[in-house]
Structure 1
């Protein structure tokens, strides 16, 4: 991937692809939220549980394709391949940063 991503976002994609989920605490703010598949997950423990469950269910990999930034919001278009209907798909990941951490993430 040639897209340069801020460290917390790059770490999120590394964890999504199998790196140690303990690294999530380094990239998400303590009260961060993730909105995915119609559900919202808040805080480190809930985000970690969501990601581990998604990895278990879908056995996926994700490849960021392009990114654009407006202020503290960063939109990343990523190719996701896994054992789910319609795979592969391109999903938009909308990150909002607060300092050097992810404050929120919406996947759609």
Structure 2
């Protein structure tokens, strides 16, 4: 299934599913924040490290299930499956956009 998403969010999910991590610089603002598993990652360097560490720990694939939009807020329901405890899980990725880039992402 293909869901219509802003380019920055499509790029984020492409990276999550194995595309080159360097592409994150094109989808996040320089001062972006990611909140995942109770940890806050601030700035592009921290976000890049977070994504790199996730790839090193686990093999996984993110399937997009549903999208909801509310102005600059986009919530994507996903199924994440792979080699990690509790797989598969359904997660909401809540994005806040600014100037067509991801300003914040909370995964819950």
TM-score normalised by L of structure 2 = 0.97
Structure 1: gaps (5+ residues) = none
- Partner Cα separation in structure 1 for residue 54 and residue 43 of structure 2: 17
Q: In structure 2, what is the equivalent of residue 20 of structure 1?
A: 20
Q: In structure 2, what is the equivalent of residue 82 of structure 1?
A: 82
Q: In structure 1, what is the equivalent of residue 105 of structure 2?
A: 105
Q: In structure 1, what is the equivalent of residue 10 of structure 2?
A: 10
What SS class does the counterpart of residue 49 from structure 1 fall into? helix
- Partner Cα separation in structure 1 for residue 11 and residue 78 of structure 2: 14
What is the count of residue pairs matched by the alignment?
108
TM-score normalised by L of structure 1 = 0.97
- Partner Cα separation in structure 2 for residue 33 and residue 86 of structure 1: 26
Deviation at 1:90? 0.7
Q: In structure 1, what is the equivalent of residue 40 of structure 2?
A: 40
Runs of 4+ aligned structure 1 residues displaced above 4 Å come to none
Q: In structure 2, what is the equivalent of residue 69 of structure 1?
A: 69
Structure 2: gaps (5+ residues) = none
